[in-house]
Amino acid sequence: MKANRFISFFLAIAILVASVSISAVAVSEKWKAKNEEPFIFIHGLNGWGGSEGINGVIPYWGATTGDLMDYLRGEGYECYSASVGPLSSAWDRACELYAQLTGTTVDYGEAHAKAHNHDRYGRTFHQPLVKDWGELDKNGKIEQVHLIGHSFGGTTARMFVHLLGEGSAEEMAATPADDISPLFTGGKSDWVKSVTTICTPHNSASVYYPLQLLGLDIFVQTFSYIYAGLLGRSYLNGRIVDFYLEQFGLTDIPGGEKADMFFKALKLILENKDDSCQYDLTPEGTKKMNETLDINDDIYYFSYAFSTTHDVLGVQLPDIRTNPVIYLTSVAMGIGKFTDPVLGTVYDGDWLANDALVNTESAKYPIDEPHKDFESGNIEKGIWNVMPVERGDHGTAIGLFAPADETHEFYIELCEMLNALPD
């Protein structure tokens, strides 16, 4: 047991990023609860959810401040930390999230699976994460949820609500009506009350280019898959970590189907160029994502951007308390003035400010979608309500090395605001 906890702690430190303190949400009035829908928290790249053993050592949500889900439940909020593929694409993660919420088998889609040369089905969840989600309550109102995503978890939430609302024409064309997952048939946008993104790279991030220049993008992706493949077929799989890569045959299903031959599965997943979290975060992947996804007029959208930098003679340099592990990436992003050849983003002026992994402006809203600055007395559906910029680096919002009272205040304010949203 002690060995497992040591390994868990080591893995958590290797994945999580440190942060500085977090400031409370700026609100101008006391929120009055109108509803009490469940809150679904979605982790980012290389993260984990509440069902994984590592979460008992260092919870993703809350980190060194303690398990945020436990704290919020103690305050009367129904909260769940979902577990989805830490290296998987937004599409695959959305499919896994749907299966968890409904207590069904993961269906990645007939057309999608063929296009990306992996299995159509993944694991089965025998109990729904949220009972009666999407059903009518005793008052005839649909049981809804709030989605809260950190980093790539925000992108996952956007893909999820897009599929719920619009479905997939490709999947409907490729799959008989009696065999298709309900996720792909659309018409379910009213199952979600709100989407909140925190430190999400809606428009990619300039850190991609120095990493690409150094060849680190390919190295990190290859290393990540080797790491996942080894741990995902070891004693730790399902007990400590879970990579959700059984569709590629790279990792075991905990307690179930075993992985394929290691090098065969590794070759398959490395040959797959555009069905991964890493691809979705690139400028090319982000462009395709934003061209595909549309904001839904029936859902409330909120975004939180963070900044760990300050202006020095026209460039942005990180605060001294910025996590040293990502300090140099913040410097590179803050002084790297250029125009993105794919997205056309001009990285200058306000676009240099960053949280050490995501440009602050990128985290505010998808550049092609409607948005406005947050007004507590005028919160609208179908538009990004952009919250005031918070101080801290990319890990701040999950509470790692942050003051517990400030982290808790941030989320209590957020939950109170979401519960007060009108229908």
Q: Which residues form the catalytic set?
A: 151, 355, 394
**Lookup: tokens for 185:** 């048939």
Contact 316, 354 (CB under 8 A): yes
> How big is the CA angle at 104 (ends 228 and 281), to the nearest 5 degrees?
40
**Lookup: tokens for 40:** 């679904």
Residue 335 main-chain phi, psi, to 5 deg: -110, -5
* Closest of 149, 282, 278, 297 to residue 203, by C-alpha: 282
* Closest of 329, 316, 327 to residue 208, by C-alpha: 329
Q: Read off the amino acid at residue 241.
A: V
Phi-psi region of 361 (alpha: psi -120 to 50; beta: other; left: phi over 0): alpha
Q: Read off the amino acid at residue 159.
A: M
**Lookup: tokens for 172:** 């409907």
Q: Could you tell me the sign of the dihedral formed by the alpha carbons of 184, 187, 188, 192, in that order?
A: positive
Q: Which residues contact 30 (CB under 8 A, 6 or more apart)?
A: none
CA atoms within 13 A on the CB side of 81: 26
* Closest of 289, 242, 308 to residue 47, by C-alpha: 242
If you count them, how many residues does the chain have? 423
Contact 35, 143 (CB under 8 A): no
